[in-house]
Amino acid sequence: MTKFIALIFAAALMALAPFTMAQEKKSFWHVPTPTDAQHVKAAAPFTLTDYHIHLRLGTTCVKAIERQEATGIQSGILENSGREWPLFDDASLLAFIRYNRKIMAEKGVKLPIGMQVNDRDWFTYFSPDVLKQLDYVLADTMIMDDENGQPVRLWRADTYVITDEEVWMERYFRHTMQILDEPITILANPTYLPAQLADRYDHFWTEERMKAVIDRAVKNGVALEIQAKSTFPSVKFIKMAKAAGTTFSVGTNNGDGEIIPYDRWFRVIEECGLEESDFLKIRY
Ligand SMILES: [Zn+2]
């Protein structure tokens, strides 16, 4: 009987093991294990700041501080803004800033606070005095209006089919250029393509279009992001951008506790010969 109970107990432990391991792995993004933190410290070529940490799904300001202390990668925290997102007026933005500043004061650590913008008239939602309290503004191109003016989340390939790809690409390119003219600090995931077009990146992102994006970013002082979990932009684009004097930033764009190693940053930095002085440094 005792043997039977022991067998049941062992079976239960085995059933629980994958769950426990998954939980441990999940913590890699939030606060890495000492081994993972050592790996990051050894692989980072110089001090970097991750300006793309969303406070959502269990990621908090405190975890961003702990992660910074564990890895040496500085943390910048942000929240989404727009009609369908948490920050949509002065009161919601001020509450977000004040709440996180208070936590930072309690911890004795200051992180830059940013906002990700998703609507193209975002700067009309907030008073200039309130916007000034942010340390940075980040945008990406991944929500674009369709032909009827309805916002489409371009990563939702299951619900969105592009009919004329060439016409769509020209419209998307102009959408990218428009965003680069907004008062933003960082363009995240530059040259992103939805799944339907992504296998023909070099066809849609011609050198002419790449050059136009890079020149506009340099002219307007917008940093271009290298994201840990995205294959965009290409190494070719980053090399062209480096030659044109672009400022870069790094980001993770965390979601649901997923594992996002920073290795892509480090690989791209080495392959493209990027230096510390090529990266955005915000005073805050
Ligand atoms: Zn984001």
Distance from Cα 253 to the centre of ligand 1, integer Å: 5
Task: Evaluate whether residue 51 is within a structural domain.
Answer: yes
Q: How confident is the model at residue 29 (pLDDT cuts 50, 70, 90)?
A: low
Task: Evaluate whether residue 6 is within a structural domain.
Answer: no
pLDDT at position 107 is 97
58-114 per-position pLDDT tens digit: 889 999 999 999 999 999 999 999 988 999 999 999 999 999 999 999 999 999 999
What CA–CA distance (Å, rounded) separates 74 from 251? Answer: 11
Distance from Cα 12 to the centre of ligand 1, integer Å: 39
Distance of CA 12 to the CA centre of its chain: 39
Task: Evaluate whether residue 153 is within a structural domain.
Answer: yes
Q: How many angstroms separate the most distant Cα atoms in the chain?
A: 78
Q: Looking at the predicted structure, is the pLDDT value of residue 255 above 70?
A: yes
Q: What is the mean pLDDT of residues 205-223?
A: 98
Q: Looking at the predicted structure, is the pLDDT value of residue 7 above 70?
A: no
Distance from Cα 130 to the centre of ligand 1, integer Å: 21
What CA–CA distance (Å, rounded) separates 61 from 115? Answer: 14
Q: What is the mean pLDDT of residues 133-161?
A: 91
Task: Evaluate whether residue 3 is within a structural domain.
Answer: no
CATH number, domain with residue 183: 3.20.20.140
What CA–CA distance (Å, rounded) separates 245 from 146? Answer: 33
Distance from Cα 135 to the centre of ligand 1, integer Å: 16
Decide if 280 contacts 247 (C-beta within 8 A).
yes
Q: Looking at the predicted structure, is the pLDDT value of residue 26 above 50?
A: no
Distance from Cα 76 to the centre of ligand 1, integer Å: 12
Q: What is the mean pLDDT of residues 109-129?
A: 96
One-letter amino acid at 89 equals: D
Residue with tokens 């406070």: 55
Task: Evaluate whether residue 283 is within a structural domain.
Answer: no
Task: Evaluate whether residue 213 is within a structural domain.
Answer: yes
Q: Looking at the predicted structure, is the pLDDT value of residue 5 above 80?
A: no
- Residues in CB range of 251: below 8 A, 6 or more apart: 50, 51, 52, 53, 138, 186, 188, 225, 226, 227, 228
What total of structural domains would you count in the chain? 1
pLDDT at position 25 is 42
What CA–CA distance (Å, rounded) separates 105 from 99? Answer: 10
Task: Evaluate whether residue 261 is within a structural domain.
Answer: yes
Task: Evaluate whether residue 80 is within a structural domain.
Answer: yes
Q: What is the mean pLDDT of the chain?
A: 89
pTM over 0.85: yes
Distance from Cα 13 to the centre of ligand 1, integer Å: 38
Q: Looking at the predicted structure, is the pLDDT value of residue 19 above 90?
A: no
36-59 per-position pLDDT tens digit: 888 888 889 999 999 999 998 888
Q: What is the mean pLDDT of residues 174-179?
A: 98
Distance from Cα 17 to the centre of ligand 1, integer Å: 32
Residues near ion ligand 1 (CB < 5 Å) are 116, 253
pLDDT at position 9 is 45
Domain that holds residue 209: 31-278
- Residues in CB range of 145: below 8 A, 6 or more apart: 120, 151, 152
Distance from Cα 81 to the centre of ligand 1, integer Å: 11
The percentage of the chain sitting over the pLDDT mark of 90, rounded to a whole number, equals 74
Distance from Cα 50 to the centre of ligand 1, integer Å: 12
Distance from Cα 270 to the centre of ligand 1, integer Å: 25
Residue bearing the bigger pLDDT, 24 or 261: 261
**C-alpha pair distances (Å), 91 with each of 104, 108, 183, 240:** 20, 25, 21, 41
pLDDT at position 210 is 98
